[in-house]
């Protein structure tokens, strides 16, 4: 059983600070990163960030505020969280190059992570808001734009991570939410893949929330995901991607197991 922290950012999405602190403490030994997003940050602010990081044992901080505003406002917001020294801070890539550059310049020590296409959105959802075509096309286009504007990380679906990697090269950190271990509920996520598939396709950091925090034992859930990834990454004969537990007979994508 592996105890080395896995390349996982556990999403501490809770209204209740004590709950988030408990999750951070329980999962900290098994994950590289804690993710504080809008739910926890808007309710409890900077103290939630400081305290969850401490509870996690000083894991990397992914501040997922998904900034999206005019460049001057985004620069000010980014400066406003500078004291928290986040490893990553998210902005929406669709805010445009000038907005992304403003965040990058405001927070040079942080990897500004540009969110391409939310993993909850289907192709039909995108077309309803006027983005015609497969999510992959938009993800590639937005990733290229964001990296050209100075973003050093990209948030995308694991379904698109291989294409985004081909687009932006090896030096950009690729972060994938929408990750579901085999059998886990998708909830509101639509463009999902397994942890192993996301890494195989080029992800550097997997964002996983409810499959860990919604488990009866979040520590065990995080530990098991880390152990599965370690088994998958161990040297040996080429591995068959097997999300359905049927020896690789099924197709790669998780929903095809169901
Ligand atoms: O496209 C995106 C961008 C961010 N997220 C965030 O990731 C986690 C996912 O949590 P789960 O419980 O594993 O679904 C959540 O905090 C989102 O705000 C995303 O899902 N998709």
**pLDDT > 70 in the chain, percent:** 90
Substitution candidate for ligand 1 out of 62, 193, 207 with most atoms within 8 A of CB: 207
C-beta of residue 176 within 8 angstroms of C-beta of residue 203: yes
Which residues contact ligand 1 via a Cβ below 6 A?
11, 13, 37, 64, 115, 118-119, 155, 177-178, 187, 189, 207-210
241 is a domain residue: no
- pLDDT score recorded for residue 236: 77
* Alpha carbon distances (Å) from 36 to 53, 150, 173, 180, 252: 9, 23, 18, 19, 30
Task: Summarize the annotated binding site as residue ranges.
Answer: 13, 35, 64-73, 119, 180, 189, 209-210
**Reported ipTM:** 0.99
The preferred substitution site among 27, 43, 178 for testing ligand 1, maximizing ligand atoms within 8 Å of CB, is 178
User: What is the domain-level CATH number for residue 205?
Assistant: 3.20.20.70
Residue whose C-alpha is closest to residue 158's, from 177, 173, 181: 177
Q: Which residue has the higher pLDDT, 238 or 69?
A: 69
Catalytic positions: 64, 66, 69
**pLDDT over threshold 90, residue 249:** no
Q: The whole model's pTM is what? A: 0.92
Domain span at 166: 6-229
Query: Length of the chain in residues, anyone?
Result: 258
Q: What is the pLDDT of residues 82-108, one digit of tens each?
A: 999 999 999 999 999 999 999 999 999
> Considering its fold, how many domains does the chain have in total?
1
- 1 located within any domain: no
Index of the ligand 1 atom closest to the CA of residue 179: 13
């Amino acid at each position: 059983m592996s105890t080395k922290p896995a390349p996982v950012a556990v999403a501490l999405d809770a209204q209740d600070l004590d709950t988030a602190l408990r999750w951070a403490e329980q999962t900290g030994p098994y994950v590289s990163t804690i993710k504080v997003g809008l739910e926890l940050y808007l309710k409890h602010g900077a103290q939630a960030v400081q305290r969850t990081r401490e509870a996690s044992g000083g894991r990397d901080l992914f501040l997922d505020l998904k900034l999206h505003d005019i460049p001057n406002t985004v620069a000010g917001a980014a400066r406003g969280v500078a004291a928290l020294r986040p490893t990553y801070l998210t902005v929406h890539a669709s805010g445009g190059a000038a907005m992304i550059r403003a965040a990058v310049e405001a927070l040079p020590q942080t990897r500004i992570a540009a969110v391409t296409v939310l993993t909850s959105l289907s192709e039909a959802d995108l077309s309803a808001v006027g983005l015609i075509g497969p999510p992959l096309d938009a993800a590639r286009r937005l990733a290229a734009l964001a990296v050209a504007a100075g973003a050093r990380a990209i948030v995308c679906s694991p379904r698109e991570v291989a294409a985004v990697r081909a687009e932006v090269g090896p030096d950009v950190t690729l972060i994938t939410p929408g990750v579901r271990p085999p059998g886990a509920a998708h909830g509101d996520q639509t463009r999902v893949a397994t942890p192993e598939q996301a890494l195989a396709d080029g992800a550097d950091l997997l964002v996983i929330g409810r499959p860990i925090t919604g488990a009866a034992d979040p520590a065990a859930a995080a530990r098991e995901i880390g152990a599965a990834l370690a088994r998958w990454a161990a040297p040996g004969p080429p591995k068959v991607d097997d999300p359905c537990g049927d020896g690789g007979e099924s197709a790669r994508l998780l929903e095809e197991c169901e």
